[in-house]
């Protein structure tokens, strides 16, 4: 955290020697939430100008995307970011932020700007996908067309197609390594996966699904809570313990956690 003259507080999150997130706030009262006004908060144009001081030197920024809500965004690109970032991050996720950055501007109830967050990855654009209802005895189809062939409750064990999955615990409103866009929250599930087949088992973010009471689905994200399970390969006979992280709207009420395994759904009831 830095005190920057004529700006305020600047908090930087580093991965190795790379600054992955920069949070800029005026010298406002530290006990105020960002939606509460403070006399030091910036007018919008001032905030936009201050933010450019922290963009990459060769940044090409687009016009603000402002729907009138509590947060608006500015996205941009930078060749210097492309040259400085490694192809993948520490969680094995593609470096989508290597050529792009996003600045999010938070408004207070008085309409001034209380915080600017600049990241090397774009803000969440979580898409909830509706599930086609099917008769209970046939299981439930996901958007990937895989049926739920094995089910348990949280804390239980599901074995399907030679793979054992244990969902030990779940945490709504979890705290992650980077700020969450306004209106969103992190939801985490602690998982163990054991590959009991004779072949390597490849897993992707899209293999982990959260389902709400209306049947809407969200898939896991990178940049989640450590030790993160994102994508990788399990050798035959090996297992992995870790955390699967989802970024969902604050009103999202998860009822099931699903792991797509070799064409089948291993489901866990969360409620």
> What's the pLDDT score for residue 161?
81
In sequence order, which ranges of the chain are alpha helices (DSSP H)? 44-52, 79-84
Residue pLDDT, tens place only, 35-89 = 899 999 999 999 999 999 999 888 888 888 887 778 888 888 887 776 666 444 5
Give the mean pLDDT of 18-27: 89
Residue 17, token pair as written in the block: 């020697």
Estimate to the nearest angstrom the gap between the alpha carbon of 58 and the chain centroid. 27
Q: CA 179 → CA 112, 124, 191, 221, 232, distances in Å? A: 20, 11, 23, 14, 25
Quote the mean pLDDT of the chain: 80
Q: Which helix (H) or strand (E) holds 219?
A: strand 216-219
pTM, rounded to two decimals: 0.53
Architecture of domain 129-269: Sandwich (2.60)
Binned at pLDDT 50, 70 and 90, residue 171 comes out as: very high
Q: Is the pLDDT of residue 141 over 60?
A: no
Q: Is the pLDDT of residue 183 over 90?
A: no
Binned at pLDDT 50, 70 and 90, residue 195 comes out as: very high
Whether 115 contacts 107, CB under 8 Å:
no
> What's the pLDDT score for residue 131?
39
Domain ranges of the chain: 2-119, 129-269
């Amino acid at each position: 955290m830095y005190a920057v003259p004529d700006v305020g507080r600047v908090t930087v999150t580093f991965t190795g020697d790379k600054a992955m997130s920069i949070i800029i706030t005026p010298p406002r009262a530290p006990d105020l939430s960002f939606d509460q006004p403070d006399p030091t908060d910036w007018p919008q144009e001032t905030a936009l100008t201050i933010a450019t001081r922290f963009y990459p030197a060769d940044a090409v920024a687009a016009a603000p995307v402002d729907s009138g809500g509590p947060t608006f965004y500015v996205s941009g690109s930078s060749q210097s970011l492309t040259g400085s970032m490694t192809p993948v991050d520490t969680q094995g996720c593609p470096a989508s932020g290597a050529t792009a950055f996003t600045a999010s501007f938070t408004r207070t109830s008085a309409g001034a700007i209380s915080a600017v967050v600049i990241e090397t990855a774009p803000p969440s654009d979580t898409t909830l996908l509706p599930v086609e209802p099917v008769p209970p005895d046939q299981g439930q189809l996901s958007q990937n067309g895989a049926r739920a062939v094995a089910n348990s409750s949280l804390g239980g064990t599901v074995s399907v197609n030679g793979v054992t999955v244990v969902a030990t615990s779940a945490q709504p409103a979890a705290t992650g390594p980077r700020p969450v866009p306004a209106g969103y929250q992190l939801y985490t599930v602690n998982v163990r996966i054991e590959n009991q087949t004779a072949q390597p088992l490849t897993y992707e973010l899209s293999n982990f699904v959260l389902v709400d009471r209306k049947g809407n689905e969200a898939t896991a994200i990178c940049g989640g809570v450590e030790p993160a399970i994102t994508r990788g390969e399990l050798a035959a006979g090996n297992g992995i313990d870790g955390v699967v992280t989802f970024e969902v709207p604050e009103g999202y009420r998860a009822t099931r956690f699903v792991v797509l395994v070799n064409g089948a759904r291993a489901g866990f009831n969360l409620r």
